[in-house]
Structure 1
């Protein structure tokens, strides 16, 4: 249970259309992540599913029932926001059980559901504390627990980890993944963080200016992007993309070299940083001068100025001895090249 279907969903604010005909199916028990740049409509779309925003056109179905005009309380969903929104004068247990109390649930039922949620979220020792006595990660767990006790058909998360520091984000990401496996409920999660999207999702929905740019598994989006937008949005660092010319299956870079295997109509070629190796100047597809070396421990990212081809980022081992000013040749793995046409669409054989 908990399957969610969107059919031609649109959202208008006056003359401005912000959601432009979204068709999507989220299966029962599936973890789907909405990701995209700021202003792409991901939070608006989530709020429409939850009933917090009206739907201008189209249909929203939950388990086959049309809930487009239903209020949030009639949809059987629950939402976790970026802000914890906990009542400061209530204990953790009271915060978690408050929605059940206002709904008139018996006290033994409330206590049982709060205890069960606290066990799942490892909050049992904290039930008598107040929010001011909790860390950011503990407060977010309480907010999630408040949703669990309602036993929803599906969970909606709107950038729930944005207020946490880096270490807590990693910890909470792990907890949310475990929670999904344990509850087996559909979850839709909005984030601008690619790491969250790639590590949590069964499928990622990449949004661009109110439209779906691509839907697929994290691996599918990373390895076979449908277009230039997805290719450069998914992945950190982003895919290197360079202008190229192609003829008869051969391709070449401006003021550089090239190779074979380019589909007809190719005007750009892309390659991930980990699929580029450094060699002696004159080898590979182009030459570049080291501009920046970003040391990250096990890995380093080397950014080279490749003239007309622009800056190209290469992933190397952390013990590299390259330094700014060094010159090198760049060798592209031919099996990992992605070609794009003039409209920005990927050309796959």
Structure 2
């Protein structure tokens, strides 16, 4: 079991409040990801769950037991940091089994658990190597292996892939997803990379200024953002936003909802048509070819610069005047308070 419940959790550093009354239920076996801009409180919240930061107010419950004031070693959670923090003079097997050795486990127990972790993480061929002889991805797997052997109730990951290059990050995302399915253990994962969040998470927690802006599955956050912040934070390229006061720029205005102040639409939900035959016209300022996709940045006058995503099979239209057709079923409306109007 590894359910984690946060009840009105707050964190203060002196007179500055960085976590502002967070309530969150993490079910046993879930992979939950905290995302948000730098300084939003995601790593602080993770460290509070781990016991590395004191909780100023509120409760942290693990399987229904209050662990708010327990030290990290009493919480039965394992943490994997951004830095691998491996001992350079020890080989892989010794690094993975180090915590067991210091806890007084027998050699037979250590060997068995290290062997099991190595099988899970495909480290069997590297057990005799030192960290300096490993790639970044292999070192991170060793760090994860060190967490696995403790058989914790949950894993806490603090931006574990940020030190890896792009190719290794893709490989390690797969490894972590596979590991979660194999272990069926609760995982709480912090990242600033929304691609990691969208591809790994069962649910995503979007944070801003110490407050939860929305919690939901990747699909829920992408298709039904609760507010302007989530709408623009989740998705790359980000959602286009236009002021409803500028609707006169439309040749054929889409249907708006009462109280709407901003109209949002994702780049892939705008079609490019002949000038004069869409909802509005614009001039293509830049077209970025990415192989499978084109990203077109189109100046639509009062509506601003809109991003349109098309198939990479489309021909380059940079510098041309085109029409834009908005998919009516994929429009998002936001009120004066930046909240979505359903």
Q: Calculate the TM-score normalised by the size of structure 1.
A: 0.96
Deviations 1:94-126 (A, max 9, x none): 000000100111111011000000000000010
The alignment partner of 1:49 has SS state of helix
Query: Is the counterpart of residue 287 in structure 1 residue 281 in structure 2?
Result: yes
Counterpart position of 1:155: 155
Query: Is the counterpart of residue 325 in structure 1 residue 319 in structure 2?
Result: yes
Deviations 1:108-146 (A, max 9, x none): 101100000000000001000000000000000000000
Cα distance in 1 for residues equivalent to 2:159 and 2:183? 20
The alignment partner of 2:238 has SS state of coil
Q: 1:308: how far off?
A: 1.4
Q: What 5-or-longer segments of structure 1 have no aligned partner?
A: 246-251
Cα distance in 2 for residues equivalent to 1:333 and 1:65? 49
Q: 1:317: how far off?
A: 1.2
The alignment partner of 1:221 has SS state of helix
Q: 1:280: how far off?
A: 1.3
**8 Å contact 1:254–1:309 — kept in the other structure?**
no
Deviations 1:301-330 (A, max 9, x none): 111111111111111111322333111111
The alignment partner of 2:215 has SS state of strand
Cα distance in 1 for residues equivalent to 2:200 and 2:127? 28
Counterpart position of 1:81: 81
Counterpart position of 2:331: 337
Q: Where in structure 2 are the equivalents of 1:262-301 lying within 5 Å?
A: 262-301=256-295
Q: 1:233: how far off?
A: 0.3
Deviations 1:36-63 (A, max 9, x none): 1111100000000000000010000000
Quick one: structure 1 residues 32 and 258, their matched pair in 2 at CA, closer, same or farther if it must change by over 3 Å?
farther
Corresponding residue pairs, total: 342
Cα distance in 2 for residues equivalent to 1:24 and 1:224? 20
Cα distance in 1 for residues equivalent to 2:30 and 2:66? 20
Q: What 5-or-longer segments of structure 2 have no aligned partner?
A: none
Q: 1:260: how far off?
A: 4.8
Q: Where in structure 2 are the equivalents of 1:46-195 lying within 5 Å?
A: 46-195=46-195
Counterpart position of 2:249: 255
Cα distance in 1 for residues equivalent to 2:25 and 2:280? 44
Counterpart position of 1:240: 240
The alignment partner of 1:253 has SS state of helix
Cα distance in 1 for residues equivalent to 2:285 and 2:93? 55
Q: CA RMSD in A?
A: 1.0
Counterpart position of 1:248: none
Q: Calculate the TM-score normalised by the size of structure 2.
A: 0.98
The alignment partner of 2:139 has SS state of helix
Cα distance in 2 for residues equivalent to 1:155 and 1:49? 11
Deviations 1:50-89 (A, max 9, x none): 0000001000000000000000001000100110000000
Cα distance in 2 for residues equivalent to 1:112 and 1:324? 61
Q: 1:262: how far off?
A: 2.1
Q: 1:256: how far off?
A: 2.3
Cα distance in 2 for residues equivalent to 1:147 and 1:305? 51
**8 Å contact 1:284–1:330 — kept in the other structure?**
yes
Counterpart position of 2:226: 226
The alignment partner of 1:90 has SS state of coil
Q: 1:258: how far off?
A: 4.7
